[in-house]
A and B are shown apart, each in its own frame.
Chain A
Amino acid sequence: MFIDFFFNLKAYGVPVSIHEWITLHHALSLNLNNCSLIHFYQIARSILVKNEIYFDKYDMAFLDSFKGIETTDEIMRKILDGLKKVKELNLSEEEKRQMEELDLDQILKNFEEQLAGEHYKDHVGGNKRIGTGGRSTQGAWGYNPAGIRIGQGVSRHKRAVQIAEKRSFRNYSSDRTLDTRQMKVALSHLRSLLPVGEGEKLDLDSTIDATCKNAGEIELIWEKKEKKASKVILLMDVGGSMTPYSELVERLFSAASSQISKFKHFYFHNCPYQHLWRDMERNDSISTPDFLKSEDNDYKLIIVGDAAMSPYELTWANGAVEYWYNNDTPGIVWLQRIRDKFRDSIWLNPIQRRAWDYNKTISMVNEIFPMFELTLEGLDEGVKFLLGGKSRLH
């Protein structure tokens, strides 16, 4: 049944398996959706989608599959809800008497006629009259705006397709650039840089030794497995075009530093030359050759920057953007040196991937460093790339 929906989900990149698809059919066979599209939307989502970042993609796939579908049950309920509201309104005795003359079936019929004619979309303001049928009582109804207000945010029961159309989960989509809300999730990806340790373990040999020495009095010796240190260096572009992202990345990685035992971070402006800085304001500097000499090469290096600059900043001697700063070696040479030292390195770029080819310097940097988008997906991909050692092959 509606296998298209399954393939649409797949096409939109929602990781859905046959296992879950069968579960959904099991749920449908129990009629958990109560023959209603809106319940189906909800139930299918809870079974098929396991991460809120895919809710938006689910919405789009749902739209593609069910856009034109008839949902009379939903509309009926809305009409009935709408009619219920009439009672809450204050009407004069005269109007009440007129209303009692109305035949409910006829009103519903008129409603349906209107809805079938697709007029209901115009009912945003909700103060039109019900229909042409009960002419004698129209006055009273016209006075009742709530009576025919349909959907459009007033009713709590919206059509499933409308909910999907709203795409209210767009913010959770993983291909958006990281925002603060997603920081925590992003951090979890960085945590996979941590090796998994064993913790405490009974040291059997030492225990037996100690127990023997103790004349049989049991002495337990616990052995602490030391966790292998994970070493990460972050090099970050600050200033200029990176300003909007700098605070974000700063917070992301300062939080990460509490998780990663050996974590260092340095800053540069546009392109690294013979100096790197320890602070964002670029007061405390370290010379790049010293940096390259003093650090172990088993650090994992993550560079964050947009790599978008004028070509001369990258390729010319004295190309640095600041007039007071002279570099006798072009930036691209420095980049190559850094890359040669740290074979496990990636470049995270806040600019979207599709724009990379249109920028000369991004492509040049991309040739040196494996580059990923600074999004949840990109970060995930990048960290996997790094851990898998693929970065050495780039």
Chain B
Amino acid sequence: MNYFKGTDEYVLSPQLMDSVNVSIALGRPLLVKGEPGTGKTLLAHSIAKGLDKKIIVWNVKSTTKAKEGLYVYDTVQRLNDARFGDKDITDIKQYIKLGKLGEAFNSEEQVVLLIDEIDKAELEFPNDLLNELDEMSFYIPETGETIRAKHRPIVIITSNSEKELPDPFLRRCVFHYIDFPEENLMIDIIKVHYPDIEAKLMKEALKKFYLIRKFDMLEKSLQQAN
């Protein structure tokens, strides 16, 4: 069984490790939220590295449609090819291009699929993927083909909470909120990135850093107190 323990470059809190392994074991997507820079996107890359799997990244934009992740039927290309009759266009298959999700399903080995910043898309986007993520299969009416996942991909979804995600979608996910790292964990993280850093320098810098963060909080709590 796949069991993820973190990698040399990615320091993982025990809580996050639990969430990741639960999601892998249950075969459900892991939805990751957290402050910017807490390593949401990096998590998927490190899982791929730690478990030695290929990663497929689907970057979601505000114009992304759920269907694009499954497949695209390039009708315009087909129409163009049909104009002069110099190409056989009866085989629709050649105009069907699998999207990132389709690619992940169709892969010969288990892959890690990262759906990055799902909240950027339109409100209905996650709902349109419910069945596909549940069954890990979809149907292409144009060719009468069904693409079924040969190996359930490990799905990591990140969100910045710009939009609320719909409940039915959330019900199917395992959720983890990456907390801002505490000082001890932060030291571990920095050591991974800069192994040569001097301990004293880091200690002083961190002291300042957390002090400033605390000030920010203080301001906020003052506002609330009023």
A→B interface (CB under 8 Å): 15, 17, 19-20, 23, 26-27, 30, 32, 39, 42-43, 46-47, 49-52, 55, 156-157, 172, 176-177, 179-181, 184-185, 187-189, 191-192, 196, 199, 216, 218, 220, 243-245, 248
Contacts and interface: CB of A to CB of B under 8 A. Distances in A.
Given A32-B21, A43-B22, A192-B123, A179 B223 contact: yes
Contacts of A177: 224
Contacts of A50: 31, 165, 167, 170-171, 173, 175
A218 B174 contact: no
A310 to B, nearest CB: 20
| Among all A-B residue pairs, the 10 with the closest Cβ atoms | A244-B226, A50-B170, A52-B177, A46-B19, A42-B18, A50-B175, A179-B220, A188-B163, A46-B174, A19-B171
B26 interface: yes
B161 interface: yes
A188 B31 CA distance: 18
B15 interface: yes
B162 interface: yes
A216 B220 CA distance: 66
A218 B80 contact: yes
B22 A47 contact: yes
Interface in B7-38: 14-15, 18-19, 21-23, 25-26, 28, 31, 33
B90 interface: no
Contacts of A15: 167
Contacts of A176: 224
Nearest to A19: B171
B122 interface: yes
A176 B165 CA distance: 21
B63 interface: yes
A185 B174 CA distance: 20
A32 B22 contact: yes
Interface residues of B, number: 42
Contacts, number: 92
A181 B174 CA distance: 24
A120 B176 CA distance: 32
Contacts of B226: 243-245
Given A27-B26, A49-B175, A51-B175, A181 B220 contact: yes
A326 B79 CA distance: 73
Contacts of B173: 50
B122 A196 contact: yes
B72 to A, nearest CB: 14
Contacts of B197: none
A228 to B, nearest CB: 15
A188 B224 contact: no
Contacts of B14: 42, 156-157
A135 to B, nearest CB: 36
B175 A189 contact: no
Contact of B25 (A30, A51, A156): A30
Given A23-B28, A196-B123, A42 B224 contact: no
B124 interface: yes
